[in-house]
Amino acid sequence: MSTTISGTNGVTFPDSTSMQTGQQACKAWVNFNGTGTVAIRESYNVSSITDNGTGSYTVNYTTPMADATYAYTANHTGYAGNIGWTFPYTSSASSLNVLTFGDVGSYNVDPTAVTVTVFSN
């Protein structure tokens, strides 16, 4: 059941069950240390992180997604220069591979904090 606030356009909020299981719910998230020995700081529905080499990680889900066509975001911070981007490059129902890059001219880096969020049906 949803709750609607009346007004010109009306705003509908999903009920608590829909928030936990619906399309708008975050199905998995993680914050992990990408330097040295990779370690999960906090997570939901993430069983482990695999370190594939400098700046390359696999996020493994506890409960798989319905398929590999889900939406995801990834970010990182905390390396020399603090400029860069994180690129999710391969997804499957059970995991997501991400690469972390430095500033222009540098390649994979091991940042101190990597975050990933996943939304799925």
**Using 50, 70 and 90 to split pLDDT, how confident is the model at 49?**
very high
**Burial letters 54-77, b for 16+ CB under 10 A, else e:** ebbbbbbbeebbeeeebebebbbe
Question: Is residue 1 situated within a structural domain?
Answer: no
Please, are residues 4 and 12 in contact by the beta-carbon 8 Å criterion? Answer: yes
Question: Is residue 12 situated within a structural domain?
Answer: no
Question: Is residue 21 situated within a structural domain?
Answer: no
Give pLDDT, residue 22. Answer: 65
Question: Is residue 103 situated within a structural domain?
Answer: yes
Which whole number is the average pLDDT over 57-85? Answer: 83
Question: Is residue 19 situated within a structural domain?
Answer: no
Question: Is residue 110 situated within a structural domain?
Answer: yes
Q: How far apart are CA 113 and CA 97, in angstroms?
A: 16
Give pLDDT, residue 12. Answer: 59
Domain count, the chain: 1
Mean pLDDT over each residue of the chain, to the nearest integer: 81
Per the structure, the complete domain to which residue 108 belongs is given by: 26-119
Selection from 98, 92, 26 nearest residue 64 by Cα: 92
> Is residue 3's pLDDT more than 90?
no
Question: Is residue 98 situated within a structural domain?
Answer: yes
Is 0.75 surpassed by the pTM of this model?
yes
> Is residue 39's pLDDT more than 80?
yes
Q: Determine how many CB atoms are found less than 10 A away from the CB of residue 11.
A: 9
Give pLDDT, residue 31. Answer: 96
Question: Is residue 39 situated within a structural domain?
Answer: yes
CA atoms within 13 A on the CB side of 68: 9
Phi, psi of 19 (to 5 degrees): -65, -30
